[in-house]
Amino acid sequence: MNNLVLFFLMFCGGIAVAVQPSINGRLAQKVGIFESSCLSFAVGTLALFCVVLVSGRGSFKGIADAAWWELSGGFFGAYFVTMTILAVPRIGTASALAATITAQLVTGLLLDHFGLFGFREIPLDLKRVLGVGLLIAGTVLVFRR
């Protein structure tokens, strides 16, 4: 898969991340905050189970070799989904996503710089720091009322 295709798929993922909190927030009005988060993950789990059945090439047997922290992604996903359900009705989708994207990029810079989780190191440079600095400024402007 080439980089342009990956960029496009991630762009579509960004659209999904932008739409998901509002959809989950509407569901939360009917069933509750934690229930909405739970249902979101249940539907996602069912969808992924179908994908695994059709095209899965890995094996769940590898879970025995996984470190405890390698299984924490689901916890972080549940936290994120639940917090967006709480935040979006109060501060708006744009503000919630601006905070999220800025935090993701700051964290990503640090993960890359230190090569954490066994991935290659990509050192901080002025361009990357300036880009994130501009995002922080943009987040302040979006959040400010």
- Chunk the chain into consecutive blocks of 10 residues (it has 145) and report each block's average pLDDT, rounded to whole numbers: 90 91 94 96 95 89 91 92 93 92 93 93 95 93 85
Task: Record the tokens describing residue 76, joined without a space.
Answer: 């972080």
Do 126 and 140 belong together in one domain?
yes
**Which of 46, 76, 91 is the last residue before a domain boundary?**
91
Query: What pLDDT sits at residue 23?
Result: 94
Do 119 and 103 belong together in one domain?
yes
Q: Are 109 and 129 in contact (CB under 8 A)?
A: yes
Burial of 76 (0-12, 13-18, 19+ CB in 10 A): exposed
Do 85 and 24 belong together in one domain?
yes
The pTM of the whole model exceeds 0.85: no
Domain count, the chain: 2
Range of the domain at 104: 92-145
Do 83 and 120 belong together in one domain?
no
Q: CA 36, CA 119: separation in Å to the nearest integer?
A: 34
Provide the b/e sequence for 130-139 (b: ≥16 CB within 10 Å): eebeebeeeb
Sign of the CA dihedral 82, 83, 87, 92? Answer: negative
